[in-house]
Chains A and B, each alone.
Chain A
Amino acid sequence: MLRRVLKPAVWTGGLLPMVLLVTAGVTGTLEADPVKDITHRTGKAVLVLLLCTLAVSPVRRISGWNGVIAARRPLGLFAFFYAVLHFFIYLGDQAFAPAYIVADVVKHPYVTAGFTAFCLLVPLALTSTKASIRRLGPRWVKLHRLVYAAAVLGVIHFLWSVKKDVREPLVYAAVLAVLLAIRIPAWLEQRRKTKSPRRAPAGVRSGATAA
């Protein structure tokens, strides 16, 4: 039952920013500076969808509903879709001129953060296929931990780009902080589990030396 709701919900949510954007464009209700408006709208869509992606695991753990995991990949890919739009409109805004873009990325920390976040998302999108998961095995999980860095950098990018009123980016930062904090007990547990078998042989070795 829930599974039947999940897919349409994810697609509706994922396409909603695009629908709103196109509607605003068609009805002429974009802000007077449309490039900036589209940049902001797509940027926020990336962050919202990334946060939704990061919410999937906690929701599963708390609710015990394993089916929710099916939402993670489409949410992540929708986030990447808006990141591509955001990035291309930025490139256009820089007249697609490499000199402007390089100077901007190097000189202005908020651009550096955003650019890095985008770069981190690229390999994740490219390895989102079932074939990649199979081929990469445990390395796939490690690789996809980059999403945490991308989300943190994305929020910093938003925070640093704002002139004075940081309320909105702080909302994103708070949600991200909660989503990361929820994971801490599981991470600690994981670390304990992976470390204890390593400690055992070390104990054996020291025992051997004593003998």
Chain B
Amino acid sequence: MLIRRPDDIPSSEITPERDYLDRRRFLGTAAAAALSAAGASTLLGACTVAEGAQDDEPNSWEQITSYNNFYEYGTGKEDPAANAPGKLRVRPWTVLVDGLCARPGRYALDDLVRASQTVHRTYRFRCVEAWSMVIPWDGIPLRDVVTRAQPQPSAKFVEFTTLLDPEQMPGQRRSVLDWPYVEGLRMDEAMHPLTLLATGIYGRPLPAQNGAPLRLVVPWKYGFKSIKSIVRIRFTAQQPQTAWNRAAANEYGFYANVNPAVDHPRWSQARERRIGDGWFKRRATLPFNGYAGQVAGLYRGMDLRRYF
């Protein structure tokens, strides 16, 4: 299994109640089926396939750190690795936590991170451009930071902002996007145990091209949601105006959940190319990037074609 769930969270909290009950019903029927005909081994095999357990070997450090979208350093995939290290000053680094919360403040990065237990999570990472990787992140659950800030009941969203400094981020001298880069999550998405504030990869500090020193990782959403080099976390009542949504609202929605059934207007999202896979091999893209079991409940009742 790819995802290591934190031990301190009861599974009932992760799995929406309806899924939880469905699973019991499923297990019941499955047990009956197994007893009658199928046989336990067949059933286990079927379960493995159903959970999308393709070979999810982590990508190499080289692949993860040489192939990046970080428009602050250029729009080519190899631009960030060429331009970011040495330019981005990651110490000292502070994060402003503000907006609708009881404990706003400007936090030194170390204080922000040290207050939580570092976790290691190997997640699939799916870009909206239809390529994917598997990345072993280190970081802290975003929910820790949210909880400590004590958001007010009126806070419905969390807005994240990337550093704005054309000296350190030369790509910002060109108006490819409306700088600084802004992203956002709904509060329940931010509080979800899978949502991570990453500080490292493979046990090493996050490289500049991967969004040092602190970036968001939301594994069931397209990569552009996972904002890099965060300097501000703000609680809001309104849905944040995100950078890509402002750039092309018809192509990049606020939710950006990985969804093989909803194409990008210009290309298909049904399949993806896993970096490092052999030539001419594409994998089927999984709903919510394979994390549907954990997150589909967040979107129950929503039309995912409209709220893409």
Contacts and interface: CB of A to CB of B under 8 A. Distances in A.
A160 B280 contact: no
Interface string B164-203: 0000000000001100000000000000000000000000
Given A104-B268, A164-B247, A33 B275 contact: yes
A32 B248 CA distance: 27
B266 A110 contact: yes
Of A92, A93, A96, A164, most buried by chain B (CB within 10 Å of CB) is: A164
Interface in B88-139: 129, 131
Contact of A109 (B63, B66, B266, B275): B266
Given A33-B131, A95-B282, A165 B263 contact: no
Given A31-B67, A33-B273, A107 B77 contact: no
Contacts of B131: 33, 36
A31 B77 CA distance: 8
A172 B298 CA distance: 45
A164 B248 contact: yes
B261 to A, nearest CB: 14
Contact of B263 (A32, A34, A107): A107
Contacts of A96: 280
Contacts of A164: 71, 75, 176-177, 247-248
A92 B273 CA distance: 12
Interface in A1-40: 31-36
Given A36-B131, A108-B268, 9 more contacts: A31-B67, A34-B279, A35-B280, A103-B268, A161-B266, A163-B75, A164-B247, A165-B75, A165-B176
Interface of B: 62-63, 66-67, 71, 75, 77-78, 129, 131, 176-177, 247-248, 263, 266-268, 273, 275-276, 279-280, 282
The 9 closest A-B pairs by CB, nearest first: A32-B67, A165-B75, A92-B280, A32-B63, A32-B275, A165-B176, A33-B131, A31-B77, A164-B176
13 contacts: A32-B67, A33-B131, A33-B275, A34-B279, A92-B279, A93-B280, A93-B282, A95-B282, A96-B280, A108-B267, A108-B268, A160-B266, A164-B247
